[in-house]
Each structure stands twice: as structure tokens, then as C-alpha cells.
Structure 1
Amino acid sequence: MDSGGPSLYANADPSVDLTQSIEDDSVGDEPLISVDALHSAIRREFKTVTTHWLAGLLTLLHVLFMVLSVCVAVLCVLNFGQKEVCASVLGNLPGDSVVVLGKACLWVLVLLFTWYVQHHHNQARRRGYLQFYREVQGLKHLPLTIHSIGNVAVLVVMVAELVPPVRTYLLLSILALELLVAVPCVLYYTVKVIRYNRERAAPDVSREEHLHINNVTSLPTETGFRGSSSLEEVVEKQADLIEYLKQHNTLLSKRLLNLTAQH
């Protein structure tokens, strides 16, 4: 038993193991893909959020609706125009009812716009743009909230037993106030989306890793815990981050398999 041990150690070549371990360490230390190449590849795969053009169209329709409502109210309700022309255009419908129907159609368009925006922003969140998603999370729902409050106010005015001139003036006042509040919100949202599309930035995790590499002594990033952050906010951020990392790891695995197949 004792004579067999030295013979085994004698047959082994320590230089081979040492050389092989050094080569393995050198191969493991070398990056497979440079950081600059990775960031450039991410920027090439950047997908824009195509909601700004629809926000501009919605703003244009809102302004057009306000102009037509004023024309109908002045010419057909307050009788500053020809009754025959209003009767030929509107038929038997009162002018106030036409304005309310137009307001309902506009609300449906805003509802569809909110659904479309939510769909695209959910996709941006899955691609790792968590900060942008949270920046516009409350902003993208404001137009629908404003129009819904306007609908309630219009319904109250229409149900109340008021004389026609007072009811018409109140109706136009509500529509004007709604326009002054909703349009700046939509325009501000449009600016945020256009700025996001122009930056074509990498996902939040990639940017944080890049900043951490350039400045090791930097402050903790948004993915970590901050003292002023609530527990619900931290849990939500971590859940979004885990979901993104799962999809990102799946994509990297597919790329690695493709590179292995090519070589």
C-alpha cells in the first residue's frame, strides 16, 4: 500500500497541471465580448415607443372637437346663426346633445389611446427600461382621468334643470377647462417619449453596470435599497428587474448557442 502511493505521484507531471491551470485562468479572465461592443449591439436592437404620433393626433382631435363644439353651441343652441342650416346638418338632434355625443366619442378615443400606450410601455418595461416606465406611469393615465372627470361634470350640467343659455355656457366652460388641462399633459408625455427615442439608451441594468465599471466608488444604484424608498417600491423594482434578467439571460443563451454553432 505504501509503495503504490509514490509511484502514482511519480507518474504525474506537475508542470502539465500548472500550465493547464494557468491557461484556464487566462482564458477565464479574458472577456468574450467587449463592453463597448455589447453596448453598441444593444443600441442597434433598441426599439422605439411609437406612441408620440398618436398623442399628437389625439391633441389635434381634441382641439378640433372644442372648435366644433363652440360653433355648434353658438350657431345652433344660442341661435346666433340660421336655424335652417343647423336643422339640415344636425337633423332633429339638439345642439347640446350633439356636443355631448361628441364628448363621449372623444372619451372612447382617449380610452383606446391609454390602452395602446399601456401596451407599449409594458413592452419597454420587459426590455429593461424600468426608470422610463415609472417616469410616465402616472402621466399616461392623466388624459383618461381628466376626460372622465369632464364626463361627470357634463352629465351633472345636463341633468340639472338650468335654462338653456346658462347650461350651454357651463358646458363650454367645462370643455374649455378640460382642454387646458389635458392638452399640456399629452404634450408633456409626447416630449418624454421623443426624448426617450432619441437617446436610444441601454437598459437600466446595463447602464448601471457601465457606470459601476467606470466609477467603482459611485453611490448605490436604483436597483439597490435606499433609505427613503418604501418597501413596496423596492419589491416592485426587484420584481421588474428579475423579470428582465430572466429574459435577458434567455436571449444571451440563444446567442451563445448560435456563436458556438458557427465556430
Structure 2
Amino acid sequence: MESERTSAYGNNTNVDFTQSTDDDPLIDGPLVSQDALESVIKREFQKLPTHWAVSVISFLHVVYVVLCIVITVFCWISDEHTHECTAALQGIDSKTVILLGKVALWVMVFIYDRFVQHHHSAVRRRGYLDFYRLTRGIKSLPLLIHSAGNALILIVIAPSSLLDANVKNLSVYLLLAIICLELLLTVICLLRYAVHVVKFNSKKPHPDVTEEERSHGCSSEGHTETGFRDGSSLEDVVEKQADLIDYLKQHNSVLSRRILALTAQQIRG
């Protein structure tokens, strides 16, 4: 009795397996060529177009600082060019012009920061996780520096009458010092960021997953090291794994849709 059940179960299993194989449309359908799959997997390298934004924001910042120095020296401290300054500024107070220019510059830096963040998010989605983490802190520093500079300017401008009562034009000198220090720190951060971007664009690397596979394939060791290394922390390991999983999910989803589209084209052809 038990042998009959076993044989019947085996027959049913074979039948189910045959039916599932016959019902699978991918097995009887045309196979996707190897060249088509490689063209889908290989993506053309996209350069990071943020280096020109660094040049623009640096130029605007230098122009603003030069104008602030000129206006402060000729229109704020000195009284010899009062009529010329009033005519050039169309009756607007020189202090108001400097503050309005600072607000406009901060808006430009904010737009620059959003532009850079957008492109770095795209770089992260394309699998360049190490470069994203390398520039994650430095790319946001210009906006932080300008925001801190705005706060310091408000601290100086608010009690300007008290400061100037003790030392003549003390608030003006402090204002110029803050603006020049802000320019120095911002230019240093922008130059360091631009160097990273230029190296990244010139190197034209593959996504991190592909680079790791190549490095492990060229190495003599046949296994890869996973887990903690010297100097690694739990947060870094978890963050890297989460970024890698997110990239692989997106890559597999795009790759599956393209393979299905190629298969459909071959079926129709």
C-alpha cells in the first residue's frame, strides 16, 4: 500500500514538473543574444557636471567681496566720495546694498547646493557609492559657511551703534573681516571638491560593484573578505551595505525590464 502511494506521488511529481516546464513561456521563447545582454548591462559613463557650477559660484563670490570692499572704503568709511556714491547707488544706503548683495549671494549658494545634491543623488543611484560618501561632507560646506556668515553679520550689524561708539567704524571692519574669511573658507572647500570631481570624471570608473568584482578577479585569493576590518565601524558597514542593496535592487529592476523588452522584440521579430 505504501509503495503504491510512493509511486503515485512520484508520478504526480513528474507530471507537475512536466506541466510547469511546458507552461513556462520563457523556455520555448527565443533566447536573448549575448551581445544584446552585454549592451544592456554596460552603461556609458556619465560625467558629473558640477565643476562648472563651482567656477560660477566662486566667480560670483569674488565679485561680491570686491564690490563690498570698494563700497565700504569709498562710500562707508570715507566721506570724500559721498556725492559720487549716492549717484552710483541711486540714493540707497551703502550698508543696505552690502546686505542685499549678501542675501542674493546666499540664494545663489543655496541653488548651487541643490544642484550639486541632485547630481550626487544620481551618482549614488548609478552605483558610485564610495565617491558619494567621499564628497558627502565637503559638498555641503559652502552653504553651511555662508549660513554661519549670515548669522555673524547679523550679530555685528544689530549692535553696530554700540560698537562704533567705542571704536570708530568697528562694525565695518568686523563686517569686512567676516566677508573675507567667508570667501577664504568657501574657496578652499570648493577647490577641494572640484579636485575630487575632476579626478572622478577623468578616471571614468565603473560602479563600485563592478570594480570590486574586477579587483577580486585579478587578485590571487579566491575569496572575498566580508565583515569588519581594522578601522571600520558598524555604522559605516551598515550604511555601505544599505547603499549597495539599494543600488542592486534598482539595477536589477532596470535590467529585468530591458531584458523583457528585448525578448518581446525578438518574439515580434
Shorter-chain TM range is 0.7 to 0.9
CA displacement at 1:85 relative to structure 2: 1.5
2:40–2:258 contact (8 Å) kept in structure 1: no
Counterpart residue number, 2:210: 206
- Among 244, 250, 253, which residue is 2:253 paired with? 250
CA displacement at 1:218 relative to structure 2: 7.6
TM-score, with normalisation over the residues of structure 1?
0.79
Cα RMSD after superposing both structures: 2.6
Counterpart residue number, 1:13: none
2:74–2:81 contact (8 Å) kept in structure 1: yes
CA displacement at 1:90 relative to structure 2: 2.0
| Unaligned 5+ runs, structure 1 | 1-31
CA displacement at 1:256 relative to structure 2: 2.6
1:56–1:187 contact (8 Å) kept in structure 2: no
2:173 maps to a residue whose letter is Y
CA distance in 2, matches of 1:138, 1:152: 21
CA 1:81 to 1:204, structure 2 compared with 1: closer, same or farther past 3 Å? farther
Counterpart residue number, 1:27: none
Secondary structure at the counterpart of residue 169 of structure 2: helix
| Unaligned 5+ runs, structure 2 | 1-32
2:128–2:207 contact (8 Å) kept in structure 1: yes
Quick one: percent identity of the two aligned structures?
44
* 1:237 and 2:240 matched: yes
Counterpart residue number, 1:171: 175
1:55–1:190 contact (8 Å) kept in structure 2: yes
Secondary structure at the counterpart of residue 162 of structure 1: helix
Secondary structure at the counterpart of residue 144 of structure 1: helix
Higher mean C-alpha deviation, range 84-93 or range 236-245: 84-93
1:26-41 to structure 2, matched below 5 A, reads 41=42
Counterpart residue number, 2:76: 77
CA distance in 2, matches of 1:166, 1:116: 37
Counterpart residue number, 2:163: 162
CA displacement at 1:61 relative to structure 2: 0.3
CA offset digits 1:201-247 (Å, max 9, x no partner): 100001001111111418856x7533432222211111110110011
CA displacement at 1:41 relative to structure 2: 2.9
1:1-263 to structure 2, matched below 5 A, reads 41-42=42-43, 44=44, 46-79=45-78, 81-160=80-159, 161-163=162-164, 165-217=169-221, 220=224, 224-261=227-264, 263=266
CA offset digits 1:55-92 (Å, max 9, x no partner): 11000000000000001001100125421121112234
CA offset digits 1:166-210 (Å, max 9, x no partner): 211111111111111111111111121121112111000010011
CA 1:101 to 1:218, structure 2 compared with 1: closer, same or farther past 3 Å? farther
CA displacement at 1:149 relative to structure 2: 1.4
Higher mean C-alpha deviation, range 77-86 or range 100-109: 77-86
Tell me the matched-pair count: 229
